[in-house]
């Protein structure tokens, strides 16, 4: 058995310790005589697994008591629809900060379902190289909420501050955040947000699970014409078991939360590791003649590091040799090309060191 | 490690051989150096896994070429909404045969979203002990389709024929079938159906995956106001990868399909085993003084066998002693009480034999 270094943007690397535990528990979960996959979601054993996962997530993110945690399905993409269904019941318009491809998908789905979708600020004029500043965000008078994408997985562009969502009349509205590719990368002040959602397949667990953290006063704003399973209130009241949840993915998420708490030592420790990993890779890129990254330093993502080679004819040999060296999934997203190294929590610092060494060696030989 | 006999109604038992393979491949999928969970859904390795799963399912069910197979999320419950969104775009009313709790959930969601939901026939007058016959099904003049639940998981009531969906004017409309708890239990004539859908967590794989089989001419009937991810046409055109699918669940479904093909020998062989398992358990129930099942013999489910004890004060000791004997999850659904033994594909005949022996012994001692 060999484990290569995996820089995939998602579904992404999982901690080896988590996979080992899942492997060891696959046929018989701790003496219960069956796999977690085979458990009734209503059974005492499974409910204990589910509740521990939520408790560990609450502990990691210091989630206040007036927030509900939902474990649901359909990925962040389904939340692009669920958010407006849940928050536009009292009227008003969804407002967005557009920072790249994922923001635009959220905007498009809201527009498709409910027409008006206001872009309150955009990074487009900068070529998506910097995030709009607070003063550039102009909400509409009827803004029901402001949606932001904390970290653009494809562009490698990240917010370096938590925006305030203030209408022209001075009234504050909920901040909604797609945190799919940055949640759990460091501590977070949840109380600044109305809704946080995150597809699991980057820092949480396997694809097919999405975690939603919602302030409980926002459970009362839903449109009545919503598919039942989209309803935050319904899910909250049903303990995310309105129908059969993605039980095995939820269990794996719990193993990841345990790993973060006990193996890593919590989110401040995780953040320090992530800062170090990203800093050394960006430094290697900036110091080279061959590689470059265009993002404003303050908005560079710690999770997704896109870079291009000065001569794109070198892309293919770069990728082929990287794979030979056990450095997997460095190809940039098909919409932008180039390279991308995703440095999620489960990507060890040794992987980043190996990548930097490989990049330097490649540049020496080919650059 | 011990593997008990698991009669859970879902999430249900999986074949031990499948779990062993998943365990062995957990950290390094066949020398690729990463887990299937960690693969990009766009990677060549993962696309091969996904395509092989679909090909094996097509082979098992002899799915005609003009049907599309979708792997999506949210369980059958999400399909209760997705079906009317996809099929009511040209107007008309959804028609249903009501055979129990799961039918009623489908009816309720269609009614919630789109008002009219016509019950074309119901088993309610019989106490849900027999399925309406063809002559009892009365579609509305404007029926857009007829929805049936092939097997009521809670009630243990199953169709013994495939209904035709004919309007009063003689025009035939698509038959839509929730096959969550009976798909793959035996061969099937897919061409009789417009849409078949099935939550995975009984005979397919882990919870959090749903398989939809849809005739391709029905892709053009969708309402425009549908959440994007609900769209059968969108999913079909995107190869079920419009967003990140539940990759690991899809892989496990593929292992189950392989097991059915190669270990069991296909669906005729599977059906013979299932018929034998169910026949001997119903015979044991019918021959006893203590146990009973009220369903009309022709409509008895082979997958879910509910039964009650003549004295319900024996329920608790029955369940406690069964669990002691390694016979798990025999408690009936909370809405109906009593017992239920689910005999899905992965429940071996030895489990049924052990259950029958236990039931006889319990009756001898307590009955």
pLDDT tens digits for range A222-242: 999 999 999 999 999 999 999
Query: Which residues of B are less than 8 Å from A329 in CB distance?
Result: 40, 43
pLDDT score of A116: 85
The arithmetic mean of pLDDT across residues A147-166, rounded, is: 98
Give CATH for domain A266-366. 3.90.1150.10
Cα A151 → chain centroid: 7
Query: Where do runs of H (alpha helix) occur along B181-230?
Result: none
ipTM of the complex: 0.97
- Between CA A297 and CA A286 the distance in angstroms is 11
Cα A2 → chain centroid: 27
Q: Using CB atoms and an 8 Å cut-off, which of residues 46-75 of chain A contact chain B?
A: 73-75
Residue A20 predicted with pLDDT over 90: yes
Query: Which residues of B are less than 8 Å from A41 in CB distance?
Result: 11, 207
Q: How many residues does chain B have?
A: 367
- Between CA A133 and CA B90 the distance in angstroms is 47
B102 in active site: yes
List of chain B residues with pLDDT < 50: none
- Between CA A19 and CA A256 the distance in angstroms is 9
B298 in contact with chain A, both atoms CB, cutoff 8 A: no
The arithmetic mean of pLDDT across residues A30-50, rounded, is: 97
pLDDT score of A41: 96
What is the SS3 assignment for B43?
Answer: coil
Answer CATH for B17-263 from 3.40.50.1370, 3.40.640.10, 3.40.50.720, 3.40.1440.10 = 3.40.640.10
Residue A15 predicted with pLDDT over 90: yes
Residue A367 predicted with pLDDT over 80: no
Domain ranges of chain B: 17-263, 266-366
Return the percentage of chain A with pLDDT > 70, whole number.
100
Q: Look at the alpha carbons of A24, A30, A31, A36 in this order and tell me if their dihedral is positive or negative.
A: negative
A102 in active site: yes
B202 in active site: yes
- Between CA B194 and CA B196 the distance in angstroms is 7
Q: Which of A306, A272, A302 is nearest to A160 (CA)?
A: A302
DSSP character string of B224-288:
TTS-GGG-HHHHHHTTT-SS---HHHHHHHHHHHHIIIIII-SHHHHHHHHHHHHHHHHHHHHH-
B3 in contact with chain A, both atoms CB, cutoff 8 A: yes
pLDDT band at A337 (very low <50, low <70, confident <90, very high): confident
Beta pairing, strands B143-149 & B93-98? parallel
pLDDT score of B120: 98
Residue A331 predicted with pLDDT over 90: yes
List C-alpha distances in Å: A73 to A70, A205, A264, A269, B192: 10, 13, 27, 29, 31
pLDDT score of A306: 98
A261-313 pLDDT, tens digit per residue, is 999 999 999 999 999 999 999 999 999 999 999 999 999 999 999 999 999 99
pLDDT score of B2: 87
Peptide bond into B254 cis (omega under 30): no
A164 in contact with chain B, both atoms CB, cutoff 8 A: no
pLDDT score of B336: 83
Residue with tokens 């329920």: B315
- Catalytic-role residue among B178, B259, B277, B331: B178
Query: Which residues of B are less than 8 Å from A76 in CB distance?
Result: 243
Closest residue in A to B16 (Cα) is: A27
For the CA atoms of A327, A330, A331, A333, what is the dihedral angle to 10 degrees?
Answer: 150
What is the SS3 assignment for B363?
Answer: helix
pLDDT score of A249: 98
């Amino acid at each position: 058995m060999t484990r290569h270094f995996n820089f995939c943007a998602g579904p992404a690397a999982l901690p080896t310790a988590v996979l080992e535990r899942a492997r060891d528990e696959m046929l018989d979960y701790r003496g219960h005589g069956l796999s977690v996959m085979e458990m009734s979601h209503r059974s005492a054993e499974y409910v204990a697994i589910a509740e521990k996962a939520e408790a560990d997530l609450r502990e990691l993110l210091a989630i206040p008591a007036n927030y509900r945690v939902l474990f649901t399905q359909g990925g962040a993409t389904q939340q692009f629809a669920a958010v407006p269904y849940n928050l536009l019941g009292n009227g008003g318009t969804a407002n967005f900060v557009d920072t790249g491809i994922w923001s635009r998908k959220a905007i498009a789905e809201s527009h498709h379902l409910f027409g008006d979708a206001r872009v309150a600020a955009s990074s487009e004029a900068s070529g998506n190289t910097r995030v709009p500043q607070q003063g550039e965000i102009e909400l509409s008078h009827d803004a029901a909420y402001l949606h932001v994408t904390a970290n653009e997985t494809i562009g490698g562009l990240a917010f370096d501050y938590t925006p305030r969502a203030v209408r022209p009349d001075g009234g504050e509205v909920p901040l909604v955040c797609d945190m799919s590719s940055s949640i759990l990368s460091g501590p977070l002040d949840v109380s600044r947000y109305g809704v946080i959602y995150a597809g699991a397949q980057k820092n949480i667990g396997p694809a097919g699970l999405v975690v939603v953290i919602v302030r409980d006063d926002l459970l009362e704003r839903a449109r009545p014409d919503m598919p039942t399973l989209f309803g935050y209130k319904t899910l909250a009241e049903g303990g995310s078991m309105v129908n059969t949840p993605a039980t095995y993915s939820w269990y794996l998420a719990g193993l990841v939360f345990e790993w973060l708490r006990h193996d890593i030592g919590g989110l401040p420790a995780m953040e320090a590791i992530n800062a170090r990993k990203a800093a050394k890779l960006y430094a290697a890129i900036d110091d080279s003649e061959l590689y470059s990254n265009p993002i404003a330093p303050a908005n560079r993502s710690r999770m997704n590091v896109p870079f291009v080679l000065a001569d794109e004819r070198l892309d293919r040999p770069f990728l082929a040799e990287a794979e030979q060296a056990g450095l997997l999934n460095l190809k940039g997203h098909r919409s932008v090309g180039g390279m991308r190294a995703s440095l999620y929590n489960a990507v060890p610092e040794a992987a980043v060191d190996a990548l930097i060494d490989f990049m330097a060696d490649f540049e020496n030989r080919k650059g």
